[in-house]
A and B are shown apart, each in its own frame.
Chain A
Amino acid sequence: MAKAFANSADLKAYRQQLLKTRRTETKTISICAGTGCCASGALKLVDGFHRAVRERGLEREVTVRQTGCHGFCERGPLVVLHPELTLYQRVKGADIAEIIERTIQGGEVVERLLYQDAAGHRFVREDELPFYKNQMRLILAQNGHIDPTSIDDYLAVGGYQALAKVLGKSKPEKVCETIRKSGLRGRGGGGFPAGVKWESCRAAPCPDGVRYIICNADEGDPGAFMDRSIMEGNPHSVIEGMIIGAWAIGFPGRPQGYVYIRNEYPLAVERLGIALEQARRLGLLGKNILGSGLDFDIKINKGGGAFVCGESTALMASIEGFVGEPRAKHIHTVESGLWDKPTNLNNVETWANVPLIIDKGVKWYTGIGTGDVSRDPWGGSKGTKIFALVGKVQNTGLVEVPMGTSLRRIIYDIGGGIPGGKKFKAVQTGGPSGGCLPADKLDLPVDFDALTAAGSMMGSGGMIVMDESTCMVDVARYFTHFLADESCGKCVSCREGLRQLGRILDRICAGEGRPGDLELLESLGRTIRSASLCALGQTATNPLDSTLRYFREEYREHVEDKKCRAGVCRALISFRILADKCTGCMICAKKCPEQAISGEKKKPHVIDQSKCIRCGICRDVCKFDAVVVE
């Protein structure tokens, strides 16, 4: 690695040097090593490929690279061969020799490792897959190409060029203005215009010049993992964004940086730590960065598993070493935040957008997305948004699309629709603060304002698809309990109100719903919303309200008919074995924890309903789909 850069000319020269040495590389094997693929055995593959390349003496011609998350997690481990961009999915150790001999050396394609869609069509190139083809990958663009533990890789693809462009060259006020004009809005869910926040923080009185620049990496929304993937796959993009922010907001003062990251993301913590260390060694963090006079460094703080710490004031309390209880924001954190200093907090994805905007310009950026932000930064949603497309959908993974893309395009064109021939029921966006939207909202353009108007919200970008086997009352109950557990307890309305909502929903799901319950839920919900201090309480009833609004009939069935049409609520369902499908293999009888299943070998079995606890194990173990739920 080079020695520290004294100025931007040094950085430029180093990059030229890098590009020269890299041109000799012909073939690269990129193995996705994000959390998803690692869970499917990617690290063993990395070792295996290294060994196989070494054994065949191919080190000079072939590079094995461990990259960040490619996004198509469900098909992992993913292996992409460059420069042809051949994508192999669900690769196992046993496939390594064949890939090297047939594809790398022989130039053939291994058919069985290719992605195949529901219609049986096979795809060779990564960029031909419907999953990737219909996306616009800007923030995730480099994830599959660079080694996140190598700053050289990031520099080679143009990393830190945006920083070199502004540091010491553009006036800080000008940089704030650029961000405001770009229409960049907070990707953590709030959708507040980032440039307006930066300008307010810069303008706040601050005698000693200490302003805090925070990256909120406490990605707590269940079902959202884009921030994790950015940090695991391209940590330097976040760091570069933060340094630009430090210049724009804090220069000529003494800005200091923090990344508050979830402890549940060990790999992201590790990769970010490595990236910070590398940036320090090259003089991109520390004193007098690139000769601009800016002194700035970033510290990592790990969270302790509290959802509410994603709220800015709670997060700051936690960094100060106290419990994460939000406070009232009569005085904004941009004026008095962490240790009562002006503090600017943005989310991981927001920070990762910054270098891109600086690099490519406002005109280019505002060409992507909805609305018009030339006069009003609230006038539209610009740029792309990454969604975590999960749940009951064919192609699960990370999807980056321009703001304004319809739900239908995301779920059907990119996601491939619902698996198993089932019917779409709802899509949940925005995590526990968001809502569930039904099929007739599928053509809604996804941006900050359209989702809010429909009773949901963008949130951090979780998108959970639900089919006819998902019970909407159960979903509302799930989120209500989630939030009741995660309520910090400061406001009575949130602490006690959510618990009561949970009890009523428990009752309904247990078949003990009473007339008037739905009205009671609505009235209690109104109180919680209006009497809670922070966004957790104020939006806590969104999952409940949206399901009541769009799926009221399902609630009514639970309360009046004592029926759960999705077959989820245990008290309202029963399992039965279809005599014509049962082969009498006896596996369900053996696995039943309550010995509720009886029958002779090779003859249809029967479930004793008085003993059955409806755990569903029989259905999971049956190889003949003979167990049905009613």
Chain B
Amino acid sequence: MESKRLQEIVADHGKDPAQLLAILQDIQQEENYLPKETLKELARELGVPLARIYSLATFFSSFSLEPRGKHICTVCLGTACHVRGAPRLVDQVERDFAIKAGETTADRQLTLETVNCVGACALGPLVILDGEYHGNMNTAKLGRVLGSLKKE
């Protein structure tokens, strides 16, 4: 992230260390992950130890310190999705794309993430591909949804 843009974000939040979580969310929103250099610069800007930023970035599961893929496939692992077979969907993506949950394919096409519940339990099991919700999934339907990515 450019220094100028980072400074803008920091200024938007009143240069307040209490707003760190919101600042990190803004950075990730634009960069798709939290770049190391940007975090170092952020620590200097706010006058807080880098360790504090690192602790936040690793404590909250929505942050990533690694670049994520062009497409993001999120499998909901809430209880309702779990009892309706969500773990098998994770297995399927892991097997088909040779990555583990939380990882990105070598060609940076796809990141597989899991989430603890997005509150759309009536539609479980649920998969979110690039922000679009796909409800009542099974392995056959997921294969079709992800099929287009494999061809790219």
A interface residue numbers (CB < 8 A to B): 35-36, 38-40, 73-74, 76, 219-225, 228-229, 263-265, 301-307, 318-324, 388, 390-392, 396-397, 428, 431, 462, 464, 466, 470, 475, 478-479, 482, 486, 488, 591, 593, 615-617, 620-621
Contacts and interface: CB of A to CB of B under 8 A. Distances in A.
B17 A321 contact: yes
B145 interface: no
A464 B116 contact: no
Interface stretch (B1-9, B19-27, B103-111): B19-27
B151 interface: no
A74 B115 contact: no
Contacts of A219: 119
B88 interface: yes
Given A39-B135, A301-B21, A390-B122, A617 B79 contact: no
A388 B138 contact: no
B18 A323 contact: no
A305 B62 contact: yes
A621 B140 contact: yes
Interface in B97-152: 115-124, 126, 133-135, 138-140, 143
Contacts of B140: 591, 617, 620-621
Contacts of A396: 80, 121-122
B116 A391 contact: no
Question: Shortest 3 CB-CB distances between A and B: which pairs?
Answer: A304-B60, A225-B119, A73-B122
B62 A323 contact: no
B84 A36 contact: no
A320 B21 CA distance: 9
Contacts, number: 159
Nearest to A262: B119
Contacts of B92: 593, 615, 617
Given A40-B123, A264-B117, A392 B59 contact: no
Nearest to A489: B59
A265 B117 CA distance: 10
B85 to A, nearest CB: 7
Nearest to B16: A321
Given A263-B62, A304-B56, A321-B19, A225 B79 contact: no
Contacts of B138: 620
* Interface-centre pick from B82, B83, B123, B140 (highest chain A CB count, 10 A): B83
A257 B77 CA distance: 32
Nearest to A465: B83
B85 A616 contact: yes
Contacts of B17: 321
A397 B79 CA distance: 14
5 contacts: A40-B135, A302-B21, A464-B80, A615-B95, A616-B88
